[in-house]
């Protein structure tokens, strides 16, 4: 479903001595994700998770490498791919001048949904995440948990085949987090491929079929949570994560 080959991203950056240079955010990342899989990209802050998702969702261009979805290349088929993907960003990015319903309506129109279909789908999804009562409220008035749920249903509105979630449960209380996890699992059961980034180990362990561990832009390991634990002979994914990222940091420091 998703094929990422030798992906690199460098950003212009001013070095310590004030010269113009480049900083590598993602370095030679290669991975593939199967249809209906929940795939997690795990890494500490600044590992390159968000940059990877931004490249995969065509928000920023790779410096090198390719990204393909069922053979469609992001360099040539951007518009076609955009109709297949749904994106839940890390930050809240609603249109602040529109209400909850209008934000969803805008999204549905941008995805060329017909009037009757968009009305029915908006109603169905708002009911699903229990936000029907706030449909006519401005988005500024929603609580953090409500905003997160709305971000997710907005991304699902046009029935994407691949769902990207960038730190979907960051700064949420445990109840809301669990609720979002069950929403993501429902999606995968319905055949949606889910690609998520997180730095919560328990989230990756609870949700993901496979995880890739990223540190300082490098892919450190990629496997099922269970096999990663067995390989390292460690009791949980958190220990595996700490061991692998510490190893990378030590190598970088050398």
Partner 1 sequence: MNIRENLMDIATVFWRDWVVLKRRLAKFILSRMVAPMLYLVAFGWGLGRSIEISSGTYLDFLVPGILALNSMNISFNSITPVHAERIYHKSLEEYTIAPIWPDAFLIGKVAAAVVRALISSAIIVVLAVLFGAHFQMTPLFLLVLVLNCVVFAEIGFLAAMKIRTYEEMAQVNTYILLPMSFLCGTFFSTQALPAAVRYFIELLPLTHTSYLLRGIGSGADVSYLSLLVLVLYAVAGWLWGSRAFRRLTE
- Which CB atom, from 35 or from 80, has the smaller least distance to partner 1? 80
- Which CB atom, from 82 or from 179, has the smaller least distance to partner 1? 82
Least CB distance from residue 18 to partner 1, whole Å? 20
Least CB distance from residue 252 to partner 1, whole Å? 28
- Which CB atom, from 12 or from 235, has the smaller least distance to partner 1? 12
Least CB distance from residue 83 to partner 1, whole Å? 4
Least CB distance from residue 77 to partner 1, whole Å? 10
- Which CB atom, from 112 or from 254, has the smaller least distance to partner 1? 112
- Which CB atom, from 6 or from 61, has the smaller least distance to partner 1? 61
Using CB under 8 A as the criterion, which residues of the chain lie in contact with partner 1 when the complex forms?
Answer: 57-61, 79-80, 82-83, 85, 87, 89, 91, 93-98, 102, 106-107, 109-112
Least CB distance from residue 95 to partner 1, whole Å? 5
Crossing angle of helices 174-189 and 144-156, in 10° steps, is 10
5 bridge partner residues: 66
């Amino acid at each position: 479903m998703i094929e990422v080959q030798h992906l690199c991203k460098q950003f212009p950056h001013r070095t310590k001595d004030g010269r113009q240079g480049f900083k590598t955010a993602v370095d030679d990342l290669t991975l593939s994700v199967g249809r209906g899989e929940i795939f997690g990209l795990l890494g500490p802050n600044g590992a390159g998770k968000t940059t990877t998702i931004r490249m995969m969702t065509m928000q920023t261009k790779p410096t090198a490498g390719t990204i393909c979805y069922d053979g469609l290349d992001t360099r040539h088929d951007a518009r076609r791919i955009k109709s297949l993907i749904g994106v839940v960003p890390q930050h809240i990015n609603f249109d602040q001048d529109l209400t909850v319903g209008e934000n969803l309506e805008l999204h549905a129109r941008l995805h060329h949904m017909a009037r009757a279909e968009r009305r029915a789908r908006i109603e169905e999804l708002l009911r699903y995440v229990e936000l029907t009562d706030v449909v006519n409220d401005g988005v500024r008035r929603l609580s953090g948990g409500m905003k997160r749920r709305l971000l997710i249903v907005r991304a699902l509105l046009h029935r994407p085949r691949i769902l990207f979630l960038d730190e979907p449960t960051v700064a949420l209380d445990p109840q809301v987090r669990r609720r979002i996890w069950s929403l993501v699992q429902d999606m995968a059961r319905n055949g949606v491929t889910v690609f998520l980034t997180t730095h919560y180990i328990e989230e990756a362990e609870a949700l993901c079929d496979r995880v890739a561990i990223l540190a300082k832009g490098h892919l450190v390991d990629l496997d099922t949570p269970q096999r990663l634990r067995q390989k390292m002979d460690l009791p949980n994914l958190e220990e595996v994560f700490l061991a692998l990222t510490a190893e990378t940091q030590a190598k970088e420091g050398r």
